[in-house]
Amino acid sequence: MIPIDSVTPDEYPNQTNNPIDSQENRPDKPEEACGVFGIYAPGENVAKLTYFGLYALQHRGQESAGIATFEGTTVHLHKDMGLVSQVFNESILEELPGDIGVGHTRYSTTGSSRKVNAQPAVLDTRLGKLALAHNGNLVNTVKLREELVNSNCNLVTTTDSEMIAFAIAQAVNAGADWLDGAIQAFHRCEGAFSLVIGTPVGVMGVRDTNGIRPLVIGTLPGNPVRYVLSSETCGLDIIGADYLRDVEPGEVVWITEEGLASYHWSQKPERRLCIFEMIYFARPDSQMHNETLYSYRMRLGRQLAAESYVDADIVFGVPDSGIPAAIGFSQASGVAYGEGLIKNRYVGRTFIQPTQSMRESGIKMKLNPLKDVLAGKRVIIVDDSIVRGTTSRKLVKALRDAGAAEVHMRISSPPVTHPCFYGIDTDTQDQLIAATKSVEEIAKQLEVESLAYLSWDGMLEATREDKNSFCSACFTGDYPVTIPEQVKRSKLILEKVVV
């Protein structure tokens, strides 16, 4: 267990300088930031329920995991580097008693991959300790950090999440109660933040004024009703909680022994849910807009077939994220659906450098082509996105080596031309292949017979929601929250494009 008052900045070595994390070996996908989970359930084993909630949210972050529980005014905390199943076991969970739980699974976007940056962030205040778990990314971190340092806040980590916690603590220590102190802090934050905040008397769930990152509310059966907060509905399903509703943009829900209360801390909320949550990040069995994302992704595939049909013998998706769109493509086009790639689902993150011959062989550690299915066939391979193009090129080569006669690639989203500043780890703009090359040039580099992306309009029409209620800045460069120049210069180096 980590004593919550004894973590120092130099206690843990930086773990980011591993050769396996080179550009060549990084996944050719946008990387999600985090998954958050919270629970108010007197009489329940909240640590174990939080563990299973994080287990269901593991796809949102695989670097570190943590759980804080409140037993009255006492906080029990355990967090470490690794997967949820590696960080926790039965004996550790038994040391986390309490009625309130806050959990986090992390992929770092602000702050390096170090144990000290793992969450929840726990701080002392005059009203007791608070534990904060954050999904998203602030864009005014430089300004906020300067304000906090100038007011003698002893920042331990390099994360924007800790800054939010300190901003709350400052307001509480100045005389505010938990709710007012939190709301004061939210007004100091710009960017994307979906938060779960534990206190000795209750737990809060909050989303930024645009609701860029998701957060849902669930209930556990019983009397009185007990409440759960999760990044996605799959975190509710695993523990038998019923979906109640989403936390709304600009809303904070305050869950105590008196039940759930709702407050709109932002007077001008303007929904801008990240469209990539629907295309790729969230699990396909999670629900948004009263349906599973599997259904939406199938519609993307059907729209993709309508826009870019090509005659072929078989269509298949890149496991797992490309499969629903590939099925939809097959349904709309009449091209037979099959499996052309098998995924090794037991490959986690490895820190062992593969041999040179393994690197040259491409991506067979995770994906292996079915040679007898592909030999002599004209194939359509469907994926949800291309970021740098490195993995896509290796994949095409593997299909050729397996005997595919033609390879046509279809992407169920528009070209990614701009980096994200709201909690997704994307490269600088010059590393995004679609920012510097035309579709024809990309096709040539990938060595495919044809390449087509889904149109921006087609992507949004498939949501069956208001097109203006999504953030699609990674495709357009239209950022819903203004990016400070010094932050913008770190990633954005090219002109805005129209899709």
Q: State the catalytic residues.
A: 34
Token pair of 222 as six digits: 């019983």
CA distance 175 to 423: 31
Token pair of 400 as six digits: 């050729």
- Please check if 194 is assigned to a binding site: no
- Please check if 321 is assigned to a binding site: yes
- Please check if 234 is assigned to a binding site: no
CA distance 408 to 448: 6
- Please check if 372 is assigned to a binding site: no
- Please check if 471 is assigned to a binding site: yes
Spatial CB neighbours of 134, under 8 Å, sequence gap ≥ 6: 34, 36, 104, 119, 121, 159, 160, 161, 164, 193, 194, 195
Burial per residue of 131-144, b for 16 or more beta-carbon CB atoms within 10 angstroms, e otherwise = bbbbbbbbbbbeeb
Token pair of 51 as six digits: 């563990």
Is 30:416 a contact under the CB 8 Å cutoff? yes
CA distance 108 to 121: 14
- Please check if 474 is assigned to a binding site: yes
CA distance 88 to 92: 6
CA distance 222 to 98: 18
The amino acid sitting at 483 is I
- Please check if 262 is assigned to a binding site: no
Closest CA to 113 of 157, 161, 63: 63
Token pair of 370 as six digits: 């079915």
CA distance 305 to 299: 10
Q: List binding-site positions for [4Fe-4S] cluster.
A: 274, 420, 471, 474
Q: List binding-site positions for Mg(2+).
A: 321, 383-384
Q: List binding-site positions.
A: 274, 321, 383-384, 420, 471, 474
